[in-house]
């Protein structure tokens, strides 16, 4: 089990708690501005339990299996075309948003809930970075820390300025299948075979998006409140962190494809803010809320390798 898998479990658990809190809030008809000390205490306990428990699980499942060392730094900014760094920003942004909504449901005062919830994502991932710093296999990455701060800052700054997220950070994924069996084997060995593993580990199939709500910026256009425009980025040709060459523990060459070009992609596509779709069904509201961190599949324009092409559907 990887660090990202455990992080995903934590996010999903948080989403479940948020959804439950929202349902209870709606059923009890409690004003969103009414501070509820008991709920606030429960949310604090949930955060402590969630972070404490996930850190213990992460250490036992991951770090204790690798040799420890003195605290040290590790410069990995050149790896994976920086897609892992964008993933850090996305995780910090998403966790900050979900956590602030927990505090909102407890009626915490606006600025307090923004800062308390907004710093959650960066703080949680910083703790993971500390564990990395004491592991001889990795190290404290200033690139990761910067990405964490950017993700939380994107959330906090918009809440303070507009009291809403006019620009959302989203993700999408498509599983890569190659004509070359050697590349498929390398992908299976490096990223896993299942769709769940690939979505977390295969940067070749990940896309991250900045999705802006048109109505929020230009209300005079009278566009649908759910309509958004997105700029996305991805990368392909990556079968190793910095190069497409791999060796086994004995130093023997196991993968040798230096000729495969590693390149970045840019996208322009429409998007949907699922939370802006009106519905009276609580189940749909909860589903829309949870799924809104994912980019809705739509056609896209792609710019890569100095060429522009049209994709009928982009995941």
pLDDT in tens, 59-106: 776 677 778 899 999 999 999 999 999 999 999 999 899 889 888 888
Cross-strand pairs, 303: 266, 308
Cβ distance 268 to 246 under 8 Å?
no
pLDDT mean over 210-237 = 96
Cα–Cα nearest to 263, from 307, 298, 293, 224? 307
User: Which residue blocks in the chain are alpha helix, DSSP H?
Assistant: 3-28, 37-61, 83-105, 110-118, 120-133, 142-162, 181-191, 195-201, 214-217, 282-291
**Which of 13-22, 66-75, 103-112, 238-247 has the lowest average pLDDT?**
13-22
- 179 contact partners, CB below 8 Å, separation of at least 6: none
3-state DSSP of 165-210 = CCEEEEEEECCCCCCCHHHHHHHHHHHCCCHHHHHHHCHHHEEEEE
pLDDT mean over 98-121 = 89
Can you give the pLDDT at residue 32? 52
Distances in Å between the Cα of 10 and the Cα atoms of 21, 107, 287, 293 are 17, 23, 18, 15
Q: What is the pLDDT of residues 155-206, one digit of tens each?
A: 999 999 999 999 999 999 999 999 999 999 999 999 988 888 898 889 999 9
In a 10 Å sphere around its CB, with 0-12 CB exposed, 13-18 middle and 19+ buried, how is residue 11 labelled?
buried
Q: Whole-angstrom Cα distance, residue 76 to residue 183?
A: 24
Q: Whole-angstrom Cα distance, residue 40 to residue 35?
A: 8
Is this structure's pTM higher than 0.85?
yes
Can you give the pLDDT at residue 50? 74
Cβ distance 13 to 97 under 8 Å?
no
Can you give the pLDDT at residue 40? 81
Can you give the pLDDT at residue 174? 93
Q: Higher pLDDT residue, 54 or 137?
A: 137
Going from N- to C-terminal start, the domains of the chain cover 1-162, 166-315
Q: Whole-angstrom Cα distance, residue 203 to residue 248?
A: 22
Q: What is the mean pLDDT of the chain?
A: 86
Can you give the pLDDT at residue 11? 52
pLDDT mean over 31-54 = 74
């Amino acid at each position: 089990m990887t660090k990202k898998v455990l992080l995903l479990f934590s996010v999903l658990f948080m989403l479940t708690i948020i959804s439950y809190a929202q349902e209870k809030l709606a059923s009890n008809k409690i004003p969103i501005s009414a501070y509820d000390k008991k709920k606030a205490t429960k949310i604090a306990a949930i955060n402590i339990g969630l972070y404490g428990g996930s850190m213990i699980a992460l250490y036992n499942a991951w770090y204790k299996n690798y040799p420890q060392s003195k605290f040290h730094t590790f410069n990995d900014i050149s790896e994976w075309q920086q897609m892992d760094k964008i993933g850090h920003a996305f995780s910090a942004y998403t966790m900050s948003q979900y956590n602030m909504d927990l505090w909102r449901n407890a009626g915490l005062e606006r600025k307090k809930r923004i800062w308390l919830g907004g710093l959650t994502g960066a703080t949680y991932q910083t703790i993971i970075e500390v564990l990395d710093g004491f592991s001889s296999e990795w190290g404290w990455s200033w690139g990761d820390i910067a990405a964490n701060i950017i993700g939380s800052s994107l959330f906090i700054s918009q809440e303070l300025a507009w009291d809403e997220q006019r620009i959302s950070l989203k993700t999408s994924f498509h599983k890569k299948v190659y004509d070359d069996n050697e590349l498929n084997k390398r992908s299976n060995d490096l990223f896993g075979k299942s769709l769940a593993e690939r979505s977390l580990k295969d940067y070749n199939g990940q896309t991250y998006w900045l999705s802006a709500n048109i109505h929020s910026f230009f209300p005079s256009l009278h566009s649908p409140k759910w309509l958004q425009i997105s700029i996305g980025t991805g990368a392909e040709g990556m079968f190793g962190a910095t190069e497409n060459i791999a060796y086994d523990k004995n130093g023997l060459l196991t993968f040798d494809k230096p000729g495969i070009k590693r390149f970045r992609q840019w996208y322009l596509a429409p998007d949907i803010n699922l939370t802006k779709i009106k519905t009276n069904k609580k189940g749909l509201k909860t589903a829309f809320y949870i799924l809104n961190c994912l980019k809705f599949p739509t056609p896209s324009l792609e710019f890569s390798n100095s060429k522009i092409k049209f994709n009928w559907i982009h995941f």
